[in-house]
Amino acid sequence: MTTVSVYSYGIALLWFLFFLVSFVRDRRRLRNGVYLFLTLAFLGLGLLLTLASVSETAATVVVVGVVVLVPLLIVGLAVFLVANGVTMVRREGLRPVNLLSLAAGLGIIAFVLFQAVRQHVDWPPLGVAGDVMTGLLAYVGFLFACFLLYSFVYGRIRPKRGVDFIVVLGAGLIGEKVPPLLASRLERGRTAFDAAVAKGVEPAMITSGGQGPGEDVPEAVAMADYLVSRGVSRDRVLLEDRSTTTWENLVFSKAIMTEQRPDYRCLVVTNNFHVLRAALLARKAKLNGQVIGAPTAWYFWPTATLREFVAILVEHWVVNGVIAVLIVLSAVLPSL
Q: Which residues of the chain have pLDDT under 50?
A: none
- Please report the pLDDT score of residue 149 as a whole number: 96
- Element housing 60 (H / E): helix 56-92
Q: What is the pTM of this model?
A: 0.92
* CA–CA dist 256, 19 (Å, integer): 33
> What is the chain's alpha carbon radius of gyration, rounded to the nearest angstrom?
24
Indicate the burial class of 310 (C-beta count within 10 angstroms; 0-12, 13-18, 19 or more).
middle
Supply angle C-alpha 167, 255, 181, rounded to 5: 25
Residue 178 CA: distances (Å) to CA of 77, 169, 210: 33, 13, 14
- Please report the pLDDT score of residue 1 as a whole number: 67
Could you give the count of Cα atoms lying within 13 Å of 161 in the half-sphere of its Cβ?
Answer: 11
- Please report the pLDDT score of residue 93 as a whole number: 83
* CA–CA dist 42, 26 (Å, integer): 24
The DSSP annotation for 117-159 comes to HHHH---HHHHHHHHHHHHHHHHHHHHHHHHHHHHHHHHTPPP
